[in-house]
């Protein structure tokens, strides 16, 4: 089992940036994909993007390319989500999750989840 802990959320103004962190521990070698999801109030969970275990392959959903980017520091076992030009519609609870399948996107493929970190964008 992979244990995941998110951090870095907070209250920001429109146009601000945030970098979320996802610290992984436990059986990290089994996590061939670590991805970020978000869930806004009253909505389903949305896949944002993922990265493979050595950082050589990553993807971000088309609607967020140019604003959101995923990276990882394997020495620290941390996966980051850099978010720029945040807007009120980005307000959500942000989760990271781990899957054993490389390139996983579907929520049901992710077996380990963090507790989430809240991002609120408001003026």
From the centroid of its chain, how far is CA 34? 8
For range 61-82, the mean pLDDT: 93
**29, exposed or middle or buried, with CB in 10 Å at 0-12, 13-18, 19+?**
exposed
Place of tokens 């519609």: 89
Question: What pLDDT does residue 101 have?
Answer: 92
Q: In the prediction, which pLDDT does 57 show?
A: 84
Q: What is the C-alpha to C-alpha distance for residues 69 and 71, in angstroms, rounded to an integer?
A: 7
**Which tens digits make up the pLDDT trace of 35-51?**
999 999 999 999 999 99
Would you say residue 14 has pLDDT above 80? Answer: yes
Neighbours of 18 (CB within 10 A): 19
CB 31 within 8 A of CB 102: no
Is pLDDT above 90 for 113? yes
């Amino acid at each position: 089992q992979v244990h995941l802990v998110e951090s870095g959320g907070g209250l920001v103004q429109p146009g601000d940036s945030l970098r979320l962190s996802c610290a992984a521990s436990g059986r990290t070698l089994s996590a061939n994909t670590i991805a970020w999801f978000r869930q806004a109030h009253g909505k389903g969970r949305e896949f944002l993007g993922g990265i493979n275990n050595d950082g050589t392959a990553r993807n971000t959903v088309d609607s967020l390319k140019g604003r959101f980017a995923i990276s990882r520091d394997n020495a620290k076992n941390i996966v980051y989500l850099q978010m720029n030009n945040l807007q009120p519609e980005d307000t959500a609870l942000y989760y990271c999750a781990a899957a054993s399948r490389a390139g996983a996107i579907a929520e049901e493929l992710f077996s380990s989840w963090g507790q989430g970190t809240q991002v609120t964008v408001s003026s």
